[in-house]
Structure 1
Amino acid sequence: MKILIIEDDLALARSISHNLHDLGHFCEIISSISEENKEPYDVILVSSKVCTQGRCEHFVRYNSKQIIIMMASHVNEDGVNKPIQAGARDYILKPFKMDELLRKIQYHKAYQEMTARLGFYENYLDFIHAELPLP
């Protein structure tokens, strides 16, 4: 998967990136959400420390198709609650174990794939229902 890490603590970002890279994921690190996100990512990990002045909610809404997981040292309004309400999928409390982060990523990726598959089958069944006469 292609993963963007937005973290102002470079040592933590590199550690996360290294662990995810060892598992076959491509990771990119940036230090703030003010930097333009032009490339599509499967997952975006966002530190709650970089969430200031409503930027985080706008960023989350703009990237609503990606899996966004907030990384926070504690749960608060600006760093976790508002981004979740704007569409972030989950949060994880720092410090965390990589296994826990991986489980969250895998869960949300599987959920995203199942939701897409369900949408396909719903459309297919609607088409069949509209085209075939039922007794």
Structure 2
Amino acid sequence: MARIIYVEDDELVGALVQQVLTDAGHLIGVIGHGTLAYETIAFKKPDLVILDRGLPGMQGVDILSALRRLPGLYLTPILMLTAKGGEDAVEEAMEAGANDYLVKPFEPEELVRRVDEVLKNNLFRRE
């Protein structure tokens, strides 16, 4: 079980991801505003962060870059989950420090597999 913060401004998508990951055994909170999410992540220090790109306040890639500069959070795994596909978008996120990138729409099983994989890889990296 991991503590996850999902940053998503679309309430329906947020509820879907929350249900899928809760069913997979994780604790997940959804935050719909980028700046509030950044502050919450910095305070709560979750096991995993899932970020959308387009958000009110701070954009997802900006949150990602800022988190990578914070001591105590720079190793926190971050999965981008966004509707923006394309090589440039993926490359930008990976260069900013994302551990993985998944494009919406997605299959729930694929999301669970990616979350579990990112968490597992992060565990090995910290040991």
1:59 has 2:69 as partner: no
Contact (CA 8 Å) 1:57, 1:82: kept in 2 or not? no
Unmatched tracts of structure 1, length 5 or more: 118-135
1:69 has 2:74 as partner: no
Contact (CA 8 Å) 1:69, 1:91: kept in 2 or not? yes
Alignment correspondent of 2:92: 82
Q: Matched residues in 2 for 1:17 and 1:41: separation?
A: 15
Q: Matched residues in 2 for 1:30 and 1:102: separation?
A: 19
RMSD: 2.3
> Structure 1 length as normaliser, TM-score?
0.74
Contact (CA 8 Å) 1:45, 1:68: kept in 2 or not? yes
Give the direction of change, closer, same or farther, for the CA distance of 1:114–1:54 in structure 2 (3 Å limit): closer
Q: Matched residues in 1 for 2:89 and 2:21: separation?
A: 23
Q: Matched residues in 2 for 1:10 and 1:85: separation?
A: 28
Matching residue within 106, 109, 122 for 1:99: 109
Q: How many residues align?
A: 117
Contact (CA 8 Å) 2:22, 2:28: kept in 1 or not? yes
Give the direction of change, closer, same or farther, for the CA distance of 1:15–1:48 in structure 2 (3 Å limit): same
Q: Matched residues in 1 for 2:26 and 2:59: separation?
A: 28
> Structure 2 length as normaliser, TM-score?
0.79
Contact (CA 8 Å) 1:33, 1:59: kept in 2 or not? no
Identity %: 24
Alignment correspondent of 2:12: 11
Alignment correspondent of 1:120: none
Residues 107-135 of structure 1 deviation map (CA, whole Å, 9 limit, x = unaligned): 12111222233xxxxxxxxxxxxxxxxxx
Residue identity opposite 2:118 in structure 1: H
1:20 has 2:55 as partner: no
Q: Which has the larger radius of gyration?
A: 1
Residue identity opposite 1:111 in structure 2: N
